[in-house]
Structure 1
């Protein structure tokens, strides 16, 4: 470790030597010396060259001093002293530290940042006085090494040598403490800084966001005397990272009002927020801006646009962005494959994977998640097994828990519940809630109560507060008309403090997001919505619609169950959309829960009756209803 700072070491004494006869010689370099001057790579070769210069009466100043410093910086002490004697003979004076700084800079930016610490320690041992650049290079090395102990010592030198005024050093220290997890010290340093620039504020915000402390980060953001585009982008991206896309989108609108022009990073962050929100209106506006600003060719922007359009149910737009990309990364291919899978286009997803391998792009783990999802949603069991095996055999990708979850989902959906159960028991890693949840979902589809109860026993331990699993088990009991068991599950939920997540659906019309909850009568157009639903219901029943009341988990009269079904949030959002959009416009609905079987059947019929395309994004996937059918082919 470095020695603690002390001011008892005076600046190096400048010794004036009588110049040797070689120094008074002509400064011209003999041709035969030129190759030697820059090719010595050891102290021994340096000494040979030095001797040669003396013998040929060539000036010592011909030596490239930065290279001399580099060769001797970490050599034994005697050689280090020898290099310093050369510097004094040439009378470089106070510029000696400049030579050592060049070494420190190279080490700090190279593969051996530890050498910076070693050289700095030696400089202090030999009383070479550091300057602000010296300390900045050592701080950079400490940051790369996450070496907060030596960083504290350098901080001491900064204070005692009177560099407290140097903003760059102050910011570097704040960055070092924060990056090393010493947020208390970083905050204290930040608060004590005699002056702060935007960089200091941005460093603190970045580190807080990294630790998912978005509230404190926003508190700093609100206090900033001035903000640049990086400040706004950090905060927008921070909200997205912490699962607050609505706040991110609103902050972007504030940024626009403040007259700050977004850069590519801002565009990526806002598009990610729009993707999470399903805000197609703002997303399209950002897409147009990125094209006008020549950001459209940026790979990250294009990748995020693909994700946006996929999550908003605009698969053709996503494919359009993908097809126009001049450069595609594995992220581009994987996003498009996953998008096709989510929309029930399994065959197209598999074809795209073939194209990907043909152009030489190597898939990663995310690619295979998309492929396994494609197989799962379309019941392609054999193909899914091949992909799972290919990951390890052909691409040396170690399956993660997500891949095991996809395989259990694939087998369970296909009715191979016992095989799925055996697969779970033989997993080389412990199954998580998602894995057992996939089995539970298959048990619901194929009405296997025994395995469902086995799954819920594990889920009660792994994810005890997830209401979705209890609701699925209740559904299974309800369909079997085991009402006592339904009541038992409800009681268990109350005892464990598990509350059922209320279902909600949103639809965006003319840039405004409208939210509906089940049984919602608070919307200004509620009366008109219920009246129109009544008319649509008559047409649906003429086409053979029969309400699927088994999805209602309450033991009540059939008439009450039907009324309950008719007030599901996605139905209300759909009717509102039909009332308030042009007849050719697709209806796009976002739902926080899995769409129920009754709504699925109703939407298929309604898509034919009203002649509209209806796209519903639920918790699991997309359902694209058109002309009386769904892209999922009733397999979800």
Structure 2
């Protein structure tokens, strides 16, 4: 009878732990376990382990892990199960990058003569990846080999993630190639590693090799990676392929991450038609337009020239953080609406949203585009005096641009000399731009030639100097610089290009033409017709005269 009561009481407590909803209730259950005379030592140990597992894996409250540590430290001889629970919780729940609690627990476990298993090692590797600690990670890799888990798929996936985070892509690929049983996590981790490392073409090769094994994480990784890698047109192509893929196979439809990344691609390309279609897709699919999506829409419409539409979206957002306000301010700034940008900034301050450094870049850009010199000075002073934001190089570049456009070259030079960091190409470029605008050849020549001496292979300085000479009509000097560039074999690393969207299709053009041969032929034909028509009109005018 007593044994039956003991088993029933143990089962009741175990079910109570399993069904627990709050830390307050778990503390009550814990007190029952400690004080109950109806539990054997084995029952007590079993229930404490279950309670620890709940605190480490189920409970999401900030106090859960703290209470788990207290429970764990009262266990006389923690088992491997208890250590695994604590290591897992420490590696996933502690966000402090300087914390090494899971590594301390792992070392303590080894000192207590407990060998890790295939659950321990992946979470210790996760901690190393979070800390980007390649040296410690390699040590754990050695332990995985020592204890016979180097072929475990979870361990291998954790190793790929570790080496990818630390940009040790050759090591990550070596682990990947040695895997006999890759799962979707293996492929995604390796692709993400290449994308983060800037090796987009290698990532694309792996992506193609996956064929039908892709999931939504794979597609989102490729779209986001190519947008961030400066290839937004290809990112749009991935999105179109993703829709076909998800229709043909049992895969989730595009989610918020997809939409935010594709909107960013549209913004980069100025692909307003694509952006508008995506906005309507959001409304049709009844996907929640949260702050991230709303901000992406504002940014997209702003960069595509639809400022009024951007403002409509902005006003329709129920909640706005500093990123949303900054996106709208930047949209006004981009199109020369300086007064509107500052009105919006005043509203932002009135509702208690604190601006960040990017907000002031937008405001200073608005001043530059609208010629608001005094506003620019006020803005540059306010960010430091009122908000304690120290100007960075991009703020100095904007301020120099404002002054140079207004012909205030003495003040601009004084500002550059007083910079706490070395002025970069954008700062000098802003000053050179002002020299070109106002025909200040002497200063422009001095700045450009000094920069050429410092960085003789930087093509930007030569081109800026050529622009100054061209503006001043000094074509002999322009030819001299062009010849110097030719002698030194200095060329633009990537030719400048323009993009235009026609009927939902983005076309790209550069000095070398366009990869779309039929389009180029059609454009040449139109230009020829226009040229003939202009010549005909000129001849008629001469005849009439």
Q: Does 1:317 align with 2:317?
A: no
- In the alignment, which residue of structure 2 is the partner of 1:122? 108
* Greater alpha carbon shift after TM alignment, 294-303 vs 467-476: 467-476
Contact 2:436–2:468 (Cα < 8 Å) also in 1: yes
C-alpha distance in 2 between matches for 1:435 and 1:116: 46
Q: State the Cα deviation string for residues 542-584 of structure 1 (Å, max 9, x = none).
A: xxxxxxxxxxxxxxxxxxxxxxxxxxxxxxxxxxxxxxxxxxx
Give the aligned partner of residue 244 of structure 1. 231
* Match of residue 394 from structure 1: 386
Aligned to 2:217, which of 230, 240, 243? 230
Match of 1:453 in 2: 445
CA distance in 2, matches of 1:117, 1:185: 22
Distance 1:535 1:179, change over 3 A: same
Alignment equivalent of 2:122, drawn from 136, 151, 165: 136
Quick check: 1:433–1:462 contact (8 Å CA) kept in 2?
A: no
Residues of 1 paired with 2:268 and 2:295: CA distance? 14
What is the distance in 2 between the residues matched to 1:129 and 1:518? Answer: 64
1:59 is displaced (CA, Å) by: 5.4
- Give the C-alpha shift of residue 438 in structure 1: 0.6
Q: Of the two, which has the highest radius of gyration?
A: 1
Q: CA deviation at 1:369?
A: 0.5
Inter-CA distance 369–97: structure 2 relative to 1 (3 Å threshold): same
Say yes or no: does 1:512 pair with 2:518. Answer: no
Shift of residue 425, structure 1, vs aligned partner: 1.2
Task: Check the 8 A contact 1:271/1:305 in 2, yes or no.
Answer: yes
Q: Hey, what's the Cα distance between the residues in 2 that align with 1:300 and 1:57?
A: 54
2:358 counterpart residue number: 366
Q: 1:376 aligns with which of 345, 368, 377?
A: 368
Where structure 2 has 5 or more consecutive residues not aligned to the other structure, the ranges are: 1-5, 14-25, 53-67, 514-518, 539-545
2:271 and 2:500 in contact (8 A); partners too: no
Shift of 1:174: 1.8
Q: Is the 8 A contact 2:429 2:464 kept in 1?
A: no
Q: Structure 1 residues 137 and 510, CA, compared in 2 at 3 Å: closer, same or farther? A: closer
In 2: Cα distance, 1:247 partner to 1:235 partner = 9
* C-alpha RMSD of matched pairs (Å): 3.6
| Contact kept in structure 2, 1:409 and 1:442, CA below 8 Å | yes
1:73 touches 1:119 (CA, 8 Å); kept in 2?
no
Query: Offset of 1:240 from its aligned partner?
Result: 1.2
User: Contact conserved, 1:267 with 1:286, CA < 8 A, in 2?
Assistant: yes
- Whole-Å Cα distance in 2 between the matches of residues 72 and 307 of structure 1? 49
Equivalent pair of 1:295/1:301 in contact (CA under 8 Å): no
Counterpart in the other structure of 1:493: 485
- Alpha-carbon distance in 2 for matches of 1:57, 1:506: 77
Q: Any conservation in 1 of the 2:441–2:472 contact (CA below 8 Å)? A: no
Secondary structure of the residue that 2:394 maps to in structure 1? helix
From 187, 190, 201, the equivalent of 1:201 is: 187
| Conserved? CA contact 1:236–1:249, under 8 Å | yes
For 1:62 and 1:116, the matched residues in 2 are separated by: 25
Equivalences for residues 291-330 of structure 1 within 5 A:
291-330=283-322
Q: 2:200 aligns with which of 192, 214, 233?
A: 214
How far did 1:142 drift? Answer: 2.8
Q: CA distance change for structure 1 residues 539 and 190 in 2, over 3 Å: closer, same or farther?
A: same
Offset, 1:274: 1.6
**Shift in CA distance, 234/479, structure 1 to aligned 2, threshold 3 Å:** closer
**Structure 1 stretch displaced more, 443-452 or 488-497:** 488-497
Whether the 8 Å contact between 1:372 and 1:406 is mirrored in structure 2 is yes
How much has 1:321 moved relative to structure 2? 1.4
Q: What is the rounded CA distance, in whole Å, between the counterparts of 1:538 and 1:299 in structure 2?
A: 57
Q: Equivalent residue for 2:167?
A: 181
What is the CA deviation profile of residues 153-199 of structure 1, one whole-angstrom value per residue up to 9, with x for unaligned ones? 44344445444564222211221222233322221111111201111
SS in 2 for 1:508: strand
Cα 1:456–1:113 change in 2 (3 A) is closer
CA distance in 2, matches of 1:215, 1:457: 38
Q: Classify the secondary structure of the residue corresponding to 1:399.
A: coil
Please identify which structure carries the higher helix content.
Answer: 2
Shift of 1:518: 7.5
SS at match of 2:355: coil
Question: Against the structure 1 CA distance between its residues 257 and 419, is the aligned structure 2 distance closer, same or farther, given a 3 Å change threshold?
Answer: same
Matching of residues 142-161 of structure 1 within 5 Å: 142-161=128-147
Q: Evaluate the alpha carbon distance shift between residue 375 and residue 168 of structure 1 in structure 2; reply closer, same or farther with a 3 A threshold.
A: same
The C-alpha deviation readout for 1:479-520, integer Å capped at 9, x for no partner, is: 443332222222222233234786654433222345566898
Q: CA deviation at 1:218?
A: 1.2
Could you say which residue in structure 2 is the equivalent of 1:622?
none
1:46-81 deviations in whole A, cap 9, x for unaligned?
A: xxx98x88xx8985555763479944856xxxx87x
Q: How many residues matched?
A: 489
Deviation at 1:239, TM superposition (A): 1.3
Residue 627 of structure 1: aligned partner: none
**Distance (whole Å) between structure 2 residues aligned to residue 339 and residue 273 of structure 1:** 16
Match of 2:57 in 1: none
* Structure 1: gaps of 5 or more residues: 1-22, 41-48, 88-95, 541-636
Mapped pair 1:274 → 2:260: no
SS at match of 1:131: coil
**Counterpart residue number, 1:101:** 84
- 1:395 aligned counterpart, secondary structure: coil
